[in-house]
Amino acid sequence: MEFTTRTREYYLEALECGVITVNDCSVPPSYKLKDLDLIKHTVHIHEPLSPQIDIIAKQDDFWVVNKPAGIPCHPTGSYFEYSVTRILFKDKTVGCVNRLDMPVSGTLILTFNKAGEIHNLLQNAQKLYIAKVKGNFPEYEEVDQPIGTKSNEK
């Protein structure tokens, strides 16, 4: 198990105040885990309000929607209800044919039972990202590297 989402200091304090327990008991940071120990990390998360998801088209086997930026396609990480599939379909099993990263907006295809068939049709499709930039920038720039987020720098 990895604990990479928070700082070491957070986990030490969480152990001290009982937010993290082992076998439902508070333990010191020096505790050595044993086989079958149960680690419990109790957190209270407030998910953002669900945005409007515009439906572009509906078919029996798939829907096409306009995914807003800032929302994941399916439950992930700290978000369970705050995702396109949960907002539109609750507990129904739905596949994202062309999953878009959380910060990206765009056309998203959701399928109910023929994911392989639809995915095969899109095998040679290319994604086109349009970025809003500040300052002087060339009229056209091709990026062939992974897209990621970067903190605001001043």
CA angle 92–129–72, rounded 5-degree value: 25
Q: Are residues 35 and 72 in the same domain?
A: no
pLDDT digits (tens, 9 = 90+) for 14-23: 999 999 999 9
SS3 79: strand
Query: First-to-last CA distance in the chain?
Result: 36
Residues 87 and 111 in one domain: yes
pLDDT of residue 152: 57
61 occurs within a structural domain? yes
In a domain? residue 150:
no
* CB-based contacts of 38-45 (< 8 A; 24+ apart in sequence): 39/1, 41/14, 43/19, 45/78
Looking at the fold, whether 74 and 99 belong to one and the same domain comes out as yes
**Is residue 15 located within the same domain as residue 61?**
no
At 2 the pLDDT is 62
The predicted structure's pLDDT at residue 98: 83
In this prediction, what percent of the chain has a pLDDT beyond 90?
43
- Is 101 annotated as catalytic? yes
Considering the domain architecture, whether residues 116 and 68 belong to the same structural domain is answered as yes
Same domain, 63 and 36: no
Q: How confident is the model over 110-142, as pLDDT tens digits?
A: 988 665 666 666 767 777 777 777 888 888 878
Count structural domains, the chain: 2
Q: Are residues 112 and 68 in the same domain?
A: yes
Does residue 26 sit within a domain?
yes
Shared-domain flag, residues 101 and 77 = yes
pLDDT (mean) for 55-68: 92
E strand intervals along 1-154 = 20-22, 39-41, 54-58, 62-67, 95-96, 106-111
Say which CATH number the domain at 74 has.
3.30.70.580
The parent domain of residue 35 ranges over 8-41
Same domain, 83 and 29: no
